[in-house]
Amino acid sequence: MEKIKKSQIKTHRLVFYLVFLAITTVSIIFYDNIFGEESWFNQAVSGNDGVNMLFGLIPSAVKTIQILTIAWTLSILLRFTISQIMHANKRNVTIVKMINSFLRYIIAIVAILLVLSAWGVDAGALVASAGILGIVVGLGAQSLIADIIAGIFIVFERVYQVGDYVVVDGWRGRVDEIGIRTTKIVDVGGNVKVVNNSMITTVINQTKELSLARSIVS
């Protein structure tokens, strides 16, 4: 059932991506007609001001789709390239997943700023304001920084890697993903435990060395 849901989600994402890609392609072909001085959307279509205003917002909506499509495509290409370069061993798989997680955050932030610019928001002033607020927010983001640093140490000290079987706080399962903030562990029942990296103080790695199992037969 879970595999079917994942397959459906992937199908829906693919459909959305193809639709966005088609709109982006058409908008590039008719770029001057959509965004130029003689844009189709600079003309009034009715005597209703509300309708004309909505009609005039179409270029911004198309620009938003362009930005999202480019960001989506760039994310796919970068993650695919990194995966192909670093697929030799299990440690590389772990590093790839962490890098992919980091890239998703960076691309998403840049895409959001560009989308805001497309709708007339001064992104430069927003970034400057964010820099000032960053000092204040940083005081409350100590746990986030701790999670990121802990995740880096987990990967490069090889405490555990993707695919290892570990026990964390009494929860035994297979490490499914090590992100920049959290680690996902899946147990035999398919349940997923998400743990902040900085909260993992003790861990038993049952994959590094051979384990002993005691069986009582009566």
The token pair at 212 is: 């002993």
Strands (DSSP E) found in the chain = 165-168, 171-178, 182-186, 192-196, 204-205
pLDDT: is 136 or 82 the higher one? 82
pLDDT value of position 58: 83
> 25-63, pLDDT tens digit by residue?
988 888 888 887 777 777 766 666 677 777 778 888 888
96-100, 145-149, 175-179, 210-214 — most confident range: 175-179
Which amino acid would we find at residue 81? T
What is the enclosing helix (H) or strand (E) of 30? none
CA–CA dist 191, 187 (Å, integer): 6
CA–CA dist 8, 130 (Å, integer): 38
Residue 165 pLDDT exceeds 60: yes
pLDDT-based confidence at residue 69 (cuts at 50, 70, 90)? very high
Residue pointed to by tokens 């930005």: 67
Alpha-carbon torsion, ordered 148, 151, 153, 158, to 10 deg: -170
CA–CA dist 176, 45 (Å, integer): 54
pLDDT-based confidence at residue 89 (cuts at 50, 70, 90)? low
Please say whether the beta carbons of 164 and 205 come within 8 A: yes
pLDDT value of position 123: 66
For the chain, give the percent of residues with pLDDT over 90: 6
